[in-house]
Amino acid sequence: MSTKAPKASIPKEEPDDEPDDVLFNTIYGVRTIELNRPKKLNSLNGSMARKIIPRLKEWEKSQLASVIIMAGAGEKAFCAGGDVAALAQYNQQGTSGIERSKAYFELEYQLDHLIATYPKPYIAYMDGITMGGGVGLSVHAPIRIATERTLFAMPETTIGFFPDVGGSFFLPRLDGHIGAYLALTSERLKGVNAYYAGIATHYIDSSSLSNLTARLSELVFKDYADMAERLAIIDTTIAEFGTGLPYNEPMLLAGDLRRAIDRCFCYNSVEQIIEALQQESGETALWAEKTLKTLSERSPTSMKVALRQMELGRTWDISDTFRRENHIASKFMEHPDFVSGVSAKLINKPPTTPKWEPPSLEQISREEVDAFFNVEGTMPLPLHGIAPAWREYPFGFLGLPREGEVRRVVMEGGKSAEGVVATFLTMKGGKPGVREKVEEVLERKCEIGAREEVMWIEDEKRR
């Protein structure tokens, strides 16, 4: 890939673009973006991206625009993904259709990158289905609000694709090996579990969103306040609408299941993951059996590419992520699994079973997987504005504590379990879910010493 990337041009609407698929509104200092295709579960298409990018660039320069909020129309979905059914139909038209699909992904990734690097507070209301392309519009935002209606997933391996829209960046940076698990299995996280897993930074009831928007519109920031200060004010404002976490929704990725996920999905080979799952016994045996069945239904090529993506993506910076994913997407547009998977799962009525090519993991060589990542000699994706090289989200402090943060506090020594919890409650201002998250990590990763202090036990010492 060339080291000098051209700057992206602002897209213009095309004659056949839908007129009202995105609605924009101004409420004092707040600017809202409403994805308005409720009958299509607000699935993202080129028409929508061509409207959103110019408006974000316009608001970037405006001194009157202080906070950006993106939401979806209706009660079912924030955004259920990209309109992949249309792309599969394009691809069946031959070379010209494939090029049209590639152009869509360029536009989508430029929008996702713009959101990830946006210089003003950007908030995503992940209310309802948030999958695929909808994840790209939300997960890179500094503030991501889940509700009781949130349904998160990255279902790409189901349709012969890969977890894109920056999945190379956010999935490997989730705790433990949750990212690889979500990438390969397309496991869904509902409601508060999207918050516990680190997908969302906040959790409130959906009935409070309109009032929150009105309250955010009242905020006035000092001219010299930097991004972190503005986000901290917004964080405090969101806390005004908290009503606690639902008592009847326990943490899903916890305890024995979480241990099994880290135990089985820690490998860089799909075959080794399958072997590890086959060796599970006891309380996680049934989970392992179901997971093996799930993996047997996924595209073998997609799984191998996705797992390599998890391995390499943890070293990529945010800008390189989208450039490399654009190359991977282009390769998939030329691969038969995408059309086969989308047609079988989303177009055929009733849905049918995809015919993967090749049909088994053993028939896919390392060289074939390498081709998806070999960007040598290709022109990098043009990006809007700055192309920062950060390798961790700069405003991660807004969410629940990450496992690595808990480890650091424990490794300082001398604290009881309650002392560690108290440290994070103070650090996070009593944020809902902090106690539950920290206690789960301590129970799973620590032992109690003679003086009641917690001691972090590395995994290899547990075996």
- 262 classed as catalytic: no
Residues 6+ apart with CB under 8 A from 41: 76, 77, 79, 80, 81, 129
- 81 classed as catalytic: no
Q: Which of 124, 117, 178 is nearest to 153 (CA)?
A: 178
Q: Give the least confident one: 200-214, 416-430, 447-461.
A: 447-461
For 72, the enclosing helix (H) or strand (E) is: strand 67-72
Contact criterion met (CB below 8 Å) for 341 and 160: yes
* Cα 402 to the center of its chain, rounded Å: 16
Residue 366 sits at the vertex; the CA angle it makes with 365 and 367, to the nearest 5 degrees, is 90
pLDDT tens digit sequence for 15-74: 999 999 999 999 999 999 999 999 999 999 999 999 999 999 999 999 999 999 999 999
pLDDT tens digit sequence for 84-126: 999 999 999 999 999 999 999 999 999 999 999 999 999 999 9
What does each C-alpha distance from 309 to 79, 168, 325 come to in angstroms? 24, 6, 9
Predicted pLDDT at 2 = 40
Predicted pLDDT at 181 = 98
Residue among 83, 156, 280, 403 flagged as catalytic = 156
Residue among 21, 108, 127, 164 flagged as catalytic = 164
Predicted pLDDT at 462 = 41
Position of tokens 């799952």?
277
Predicted pLDDT at 461 = 43
Q: How far apart are CA 104 and CA 418, in angstroms?
A: 51
**Residue 6 or residue 78, greater confidence:** 78
Predicted pLDDT at 388 = 85
Predicted pLDDT at 394 = 94
% of the chain surpassing 90 pLDDT: 94
For residue 344, the tally of other CB atoms under 10 A from its CB is 18
Q: Does the structure show a pLDDT above 70 at 308?
A: yes
What does each C-alpha distance from 305 to 4, 154, 324 come to in angstroms? 26, 14, 12
Predicted pLDDT at 450 = 86
Helix (H, G, I), strand (E, B) or coil at 37: coil
% of the chain surpassing 70 pLDDT: 98
What does each C-alpha distance from 158 to 132, 155, 298, 404 come to in angstroms? 11, 6, 5, 31
pLDDT tens digit sequence for 168-197: 999 999 999 999 999 999 999 999 999 999
Look at phi and psi of residue 24 and say left if phi exceeds 0, alpha if psi is from -120 to 50, else beta.
Answer: beta
- 134 classed as catalytic: no
Q: How far apart are CA 223 and CA 238, in angstroms?
A: 21
Alpha-helix residue ranges (DSSP H) falling in 117-154: 133-136
Residue among 72, 128, 132, 133 flagged as catalytic = 133
- 82 classed as catalytic: yes
Predicted pLDDT at 145 = 98
> Residue 218 gets which letter from DSSP?
T
Q: Does the structure show a pLDDT above 70 at 390?
A: yes
Q: For the chain, what is the mean pLDDT?
A: 95
Q: Does the structure show a pLDDT above 80 at 1?
A: no
pLDDT tens digit sequence for 254-287: 999 999 999 999 999 999 999 999 999 999 999 9
For residue 394, the tally of other CB atoms under 10 A from its CB is 13
